[in-house]
């Protein structure tokens, strides 16, 4: 502990926020950067993610996303950014009960609908960004099917194929779906303000509310965030969806489009982890086509 306080990352925390660290504790958690809980000499407690060798600008993108999502009055709560640099992100500490109540799920669903409704200038982001360990191509698009095909599905399909994580049958199914996206995408919607990586592990539950962390934010289709919540099992998802619908009803047929919106995160997992995710992506494409 003493060595940590005398050297990096404690010295970097001090450089970024101008306050000394009184204790620094590594904590569990997967993902990009090593996580810590830090007590500061001014009485605050903060969450720190650090990586001295960070090269993708991940922390800057994450900080931007948290601030952009946090601009929405009455929207879903996000962790507050204290400071960010190339090698470190510092957030206010979010106490977690680890228990999701039905009331908190309903509040989260309603607030997420408000965040989505705040909108975005276009589909995508003007700059290249990142998701987990993967780069995301920049650019803003006028319509969602073009964006989803060119900036999400095709790049990750090609990466999964190059890595040997998709067989020919699955690849062909996904390419058939991409070719039919304009007719299959459902009613046109304006760009929503998305979290962008909204699986259940990126929703922290306190006693009364949910707080979103680790965004890969961009302008997209709101059904994508909701499909991601379903893919990895948000607690009381039915309650959250009912509250969402009451605030900002989804277009007819949204239930049938869940597999379409889950295709992108499945391809991302196929690229990073391989295993059964390539087959799951192919299955999702066929399920939606049929």
289 backbone φψ class: left, alpha, beta (φ>0; ψ -120 to 50): alpha
Active-site residue identified among 87, 170, 197, 225:
197
DSSP symbols for 20-61: -EEEEEE----SSSEEEEEEETTS-EEEEEE-TT--S-HHHH
C-alpha torsion sign, points 45, 240, 114, 134: positive
Q: Strand ranges (DSSP E) for 160-215? A: 192-194, 203-205, 210-212
- Is 197 labeled as catalytic in the residue annotation? yes
Over the range 85-117, which residues count as b (16 or more CB within 10 Å of their CB) and which as e? eebbbbbebbeeeeebbeebbbbbbbbbbbbbe
Contact 153, 174 (CB under 8 A): yes
Active site residues per annotation = 197
């Amino acid at each position: 502990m003493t060595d940590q306080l005398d050297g990096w990352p404690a010295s970097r925390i001090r450089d970024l926020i101008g306050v000394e660290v009184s204790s620094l504790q590594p904590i569990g958690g997967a993902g990009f950067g090593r996580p810590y809980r830090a007590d500061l000499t001014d009485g605050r407690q903060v969450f720190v993610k650090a990586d001295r060798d960070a090269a993708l600008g991940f922390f800057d993108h994450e900080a931007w996303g948290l601030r952009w999502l946090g601009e929405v009055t009455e929207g879903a709560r996000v962790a507050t950014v204290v400071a960010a640099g190339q090698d470190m992100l510092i957030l206010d500490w979010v106490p977690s009960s680890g228990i999701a109540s039905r009331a908190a799920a309903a509040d989260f669903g309603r607030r997420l609908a408000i965040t989505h409704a705040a909108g975005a200038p276009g589909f995508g982001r003007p700059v290249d960004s990142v998701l987990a360990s993967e780069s995301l191509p920049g650019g803003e698009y006028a319509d969602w099917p073009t964006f989803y095909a060119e900036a999400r599905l095709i790049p990750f399909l090609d990466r999964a194929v190059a890595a040997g994580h998709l067989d020919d049958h699955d690849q062909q199914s996904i390419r058939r779906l991409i070719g039919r996206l304009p007719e299959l995408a459902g009613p046109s919607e304006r760009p929503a303000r998305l979290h962008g990586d909204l699986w259940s592990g990126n929703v922290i539950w306190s006693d009364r509310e949910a707080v979103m962390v680790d965004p890969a934010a961009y302008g997209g289709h709101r059904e994508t965030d909701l499909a991601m919540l379903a893919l990895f099992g948000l607690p009381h998802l039915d309650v959250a969806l009912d509250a969402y619908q009451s605030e900002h009803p989804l277009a007819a047929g949204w239930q049938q489009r869940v597999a379409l919106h889950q295709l992108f995160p499945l391809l991302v997992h196929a690229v990073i982890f391989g295993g059964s995710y390539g087959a799951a992506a192919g299955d999702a494409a066929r399920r939606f086509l049929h």
